[in-house]
Amino acid sequence: MEVKKNPKKDLTQNSNLYFVAGLFMVLALSYTALEWKTFYDEPNYDTSMHLDEDLNEELEVFKIEQPKPPAPPITPEEILVVEDDEPIIETVIDIPEPGPDTKILKMEDIDVGVIEEDLDVPFILVEEAPVFPGCEKASDKKACFNEKIQKHVRKNFRYPEIAQEMGIQGKVYMHFVIQKDGSIGNIQIARSPDKNLGSEAKRIITKLPQMTPAKQRGRAVRVPFNIPITFKLQQ
């Protein structure tokens, strides 16, 4: 008896179509997996500055090597003695001896000149602290000075963009002197982790206003001041 196949029951009828469809799906999944991109969230940095409570910090003492003294001159072996033909004229000062009519001066009659030494007086030891503009009527002028200088730094603070991009942070130690006329001078970067941070801290100090000078024993004196400014990035 001859076996006949039913075309409706032929399993290989659409095999080529199924093969192409499966191949297309595999290629599509492979392409999607290779081209898939992942993006990371950008860090949110807090570029605010921070001031230490103790502004007038003690700075490290830098040791400076002193140059070696020059070598003593070489003494010649032969010493030549030159005779002096000109006579030496001696000057005789005739001081009269004190007698009964000699006037004796009292200590009150002697005018003694006082040489005033131009010394720097530390901020914590000066009798009358320098007065920051706006602190004229404050009862504690030193506390008012510290408060005003903190506000000044916060107001003029700008975090350098190049330091933010490179993730540079740290503490900059600044040194300056309030002169006898109340101006700000001798501004120095005592220590800084980066030149960009140091330049920004120096720019802030140069914008300090004219002040009323400090006084010690009733006369104006120079007052050195040290202030650390902290640059910190927070995520």
pLDDT per position as a tens digit, 172-203: 999 999 999 999 999 999 899 889 999 999 99
Task: Write down the residue that tokens 């101006």 correspond to.
Answer: 183
Quick one: pLDDT at residue 53? 54
- Mean of the pLDDT values across residues 99-119? 62
Can you give the pLDDT at residue 61?
43
Answer yes or no: are the C-beta atoms of 227 and 55 closer than 8 Å: yes
The predicted structure's pLDDT at residue 30: 85
Of 62 and 96, more confident: 96
| Strongest mean pLDDT among 7-21, 95-109, 167-181 | 167-181
Rounded to an integer, what distance in angstroms lies between the CA atom of residue 171 and that of residue 15? 74
Which position has the higher pLDDT, 44 or 66?
Answer: 44
In order of 5, 15, 18, 19, the CA distances from 11 in angstroms are: 11, 8, 11, 13
How sure is the predictor about 78, in pLDDT bands with cuts at 50, 70 and 90?
low
Q: Give 219's strand partners.
A: 216
Q: What is the mean pLDDT of residues 68-93?
A: 60
Would you place residue 31 in the very low, low, confident or very high pLDDT band (cuts 50, 70, 90)? confident
Contact 127, 215 (CB under 8 A): yes
Q: Where are the domains of the chain?
A: 42-57+120-235
Res. 64 pLDDT band, cuts 50 70 90: very low
Contact 54, 149 (CB under 8 A): no
CB neighbour burial string for 182-215, b if at least 16 within 10 angstroms, e if fewer = bebeeeebbbbebebbbebbbebbeebeebbbbb
Confidence tier at 224 by pLDDT (50, 70, 90)? very high
pLDDT of 154 higher than 60:
yes
pLDDT of 119 over the 60 cut: yes
The superfamily CATH assigns to domain 42-57+120-235 is TonB (3.30.2420.10)
Cα 156 from Cα 204, distance rounded (Å)? 6
Residue of higher predicted confidence among 38 and 182? 182
Mean pLDDT over each residue of the chain, to the nearest integer:
76
Summarised one tens digit per residue, pLDDT across range 120-143 is 888 888 888 899 999 888 889 889
